[in-house]
Structure 1
Amino acid sequence: MENKMEIHMDLPITAEKASSLKIGDFVYLTGEMYVARDAAHKRLFDLIEKGQKLPIDLKDSTIYYMGPSPAREGRPIGSAGPTTASRMDKYAPTLLDLGEKAMVGKGKRTKEVLEAVVRNHAVYFAAIGGAGALLSKCITSSKIIAYEDLGAEAIRKITVKDFPVIVVADDKGGYLY
C-alpha cells in the first residue's frame, strides 16, 4: 500500500496548498477557521442570492461543519465534533466558487461538491466523528462573529493548533469514499 503523508499545515489554505494534498494524507491544521452549519449556510446563501455582503471573508477560508457544545470552565469551547457534511452540499459549490478553499466535516459529498473541489483547487477534509471532546483540545480560542441568535449554529471563528484531519477529496478528483 502507498505511504500516506503526515503534513503540518498553517491556515489559510490557498489553492497552492490544497493542490499539494492528496486523498489519504493526514493533515494537522494550525490557524484560524470558521465554524458554520446548516442554518448559517442558509443565511450566507440567502445573502449571496441577494447580492449582499457576507459577514465572513470566503477567500482561502476553511469552514468546519460543527455545532459545539457549551464551553466548560477554563476552556474556549465544549465538545467540537464534525457534523454530516452532506447537509451543506446544496451551498458548498457556490461558497467554493466564491473563494472557500477547505471544508471539514464527516461523510460523503455529492458529485456537484466534488466537481467544485476540483474546479476551485480546494479540499474536503474529514474529522473523526465521535471524537468531539478530543478535537476540542486542539481549539485554543472561539468567538461568535455572526448570527449569535442561532446559538450553537452561530458562525464562529476558531483558532486551532494541530487539528487532525484526513484528506477525503482532493483537487485531482481523488475521493476516498
Structure 2
Amino acid sequence: MEHRLKTPISREDVLALRAGDLVWISGTVYTARDKVHALLRSGEELPVDLSGGVVYHCGPLIRDGEVLSAGPTTSGRVSRYTEDVVSRGARLIVGKGGISEEARALRGKAAYLAYPGGCGALAARHLKVKWLHLPELGMAEGLWELEAEDWGPMIVAIDSFGGDLYLEASRSPKETSKN
C-alpha cells in the first residue's frame, strides 16, 4: 500500500502503516545524528517540539541555505536512543540499516522508515532548509528543520505492530517457509 503523509503525523497515520508499505512525506522533517540524540537522552530540552514529528537520521550537506545532499546515515549508531525519540512524540524515524534491537519502543506509537543509502541528491530535490537549530554542533550534527515536499519513496521497515522487514530477511529460508 502507498501512503502520502503530511506532518504533523497522527497516531492514526502510524497505525495505518504496515511493514512493506511505501511512504512519501510532506511537511516538517528534523535531522538528528549522534549529538542531537545524546541531548535527547540527557533530558535537555530541544529548541523544537517533536510531537507528531519526523526524525531523519541524516547529516545533510548544505551550502548557502540549499540542501545539496541529504542521504540517510546508519540508524544502528543511534538506535539505542529510539525510546528517547519516541517519548518526545516523534511518530516516524527515517534512516538506513534498521533499528530492530530497539523496535519495541515503536509499539503502538511510531514506525521506522528506510530511505535508500546513496540517494542523498534525490532527497535534496524534495527537502528545503527552514532553519538550523543548535548550529554550534556543526553542519552534519546540527538539528536541521527541513521542509519536505513529496519526499520518498521510503519503505516501512518496522511498523508499530512489530512487523520488521529486517528480521524477516534475516530468517533462514526454512523458517520463512514454515510461516
Interval containing the TM-score (normalised by the shorter chain) = 0.7 to 0.9
Aligned to 2:38: 42
Of 136-145 and 82-91, the range deviating more from structure 2: 136-145
- Say what the alpha-carbon RMSD is for the aligned residues: 1.6
- Distance (Å, rounded) in 2 between the aligned partners of 1:9 and 1:117: 18
The residue type equivalent to 2:149 in the other structure is K
Q: Per-residue deviation at 1:147?
A: 4.0
Count residues with an aligned counterpart: 165
Give 2:69's match in structure 1, choosing from 79, 101, 108.
79
**1:123 paired to 2:119:** no
Q: TM-score, normalised by structure 1?
A: 0.86
**1:8 paired to 2:4:** yes
Q: TM-score, normalised by structure 2?
A: 0.85
**1:162 paired to 2:150:** yes
Of 148-157 and 21-30, the range deviating more from structure 2: 148-157
Runs of 4+ in 1 over 4 A off after TM superposition: none
Aligned to 2:26: 30
- Distance (Å, rounded) in 1 between the aligned partners of 2:7 and 2:155: 15
Once the two structures are superposed, the pairs formed by residues 100-139 of structure 1 within 5 Å of their partners are 100-111=90-101, 113-118=102-107, 120-139=108-127
**Secondary structure at 1:151 match in 2:** coil
- Distance (Å, rounded) in 2 between the aligned partners of 1:90 and 1:147: 24
**Secondary structure at 1:44 match in 2:** helix
Does the 8 Å contact 1:40/1:147 carry over to 2? no
| Runs of 5+ unmatched residues, structure 1 | none
Q: Per-residue deviation at 1:86?
A: 0.9
Q: What per-residue deviation string (whole Å, max 9, x for no partner) do you get for residues 113-165 of structure 1?
A: 210111x4211001110010111001133420224332321001000011111
Give 1:89's match in structure 2, choosing from 74, 79, 82.
79
- Distance (Å, rounded) in 1 between the aligned partners of 2:85 and 2:45: 13
**Aligned sequence identity (%):** 34
**1:146 paired to 2:134:** yes
Q: 1:133 to 1:110 in 2, by over 3 A?
A: same
